Structure 1
Amino acid sequence: MPESSDPMVTIRRYVDAFNNGDAEAMAAVCADPMQILDGMSPHVWQGPTATQDWWRDVLAEGEHLGASGYHLTLGEPRHVEVNGDHGYVVVPTMMTFDLKGQKVTQTGAIFTVALRRVAGEWRLTAWAWAKGVNGPA
């Protein structure tokens, strides 16, 4: 029996792990294989270590640009579709972070996630990030 019929429960776990900087906890709610599509180069990460590889690149990019303290806030989902053991969710998202000592808020971002049930639990199989607009916090 699935722990929850709502895939947002798993997406919130992923985002909570992201907000805590915990790549292993992010990976724990992902299926294998996993795929990530992001605006940061190299833009695509896939395979069993996609989440950890992406997080490593996030930290390296942040160090290069002077960015840190990333925090996501999910809005109300715009679209949630569950078809058997497959799910698709589109969520407006706000990200805040520090950039060279200044607080920045990115509004209007979109987090799109594909999921599947594995052993009765939702797992992320892919996500894509559509960047919003940066402004002062």
Structure 2
Amino acid sequence: MSKRIRVAVLLGGRSSEHEISLESARSVLEALDPDRYETVTVEIGRDGRWELGTGDSDGSVAETLPVPTAQVPATLGEVDVVFPVLHGPFGEDGTVQGLLELAGVPYVGAGVLGSALAMDKDVFKAVMRDR
């Protein structure tokens, strides 16, 4: 068997949509074929703390990290790709995408600008009008 792709699934977050993100992440983890993907979960708590666990095991937390920390980019650098499953501010607004780009970590989904524009409907409408 070839090497599995290592995916970090980011979930939770500081927004009011924290619980929705947890449910979405469960769906993503269930959909990822364990023969093809090795998963690790990174839950961002409502308080902004990052908890590292694994999707492949029982989900126990291996380590708790405060944000910001130098270890987060290093840990995320050990994966092939990050799958952000965060909703609302600090997740869908380009913030996490910017952190990942700064750390040089590949991720799925829209980039910083697209995410930021999509979160601010008034600015998005203005940009589209000016196009």
Answer whether TM exceeds 0.5 for this pair.
Answer: no
TM-score (norm 1): 0.24
Higher normalized helix content (fraction of residues): 2
TM-score (norm 2): 0.24
Higher normalized strand content (fraction of residues): 1
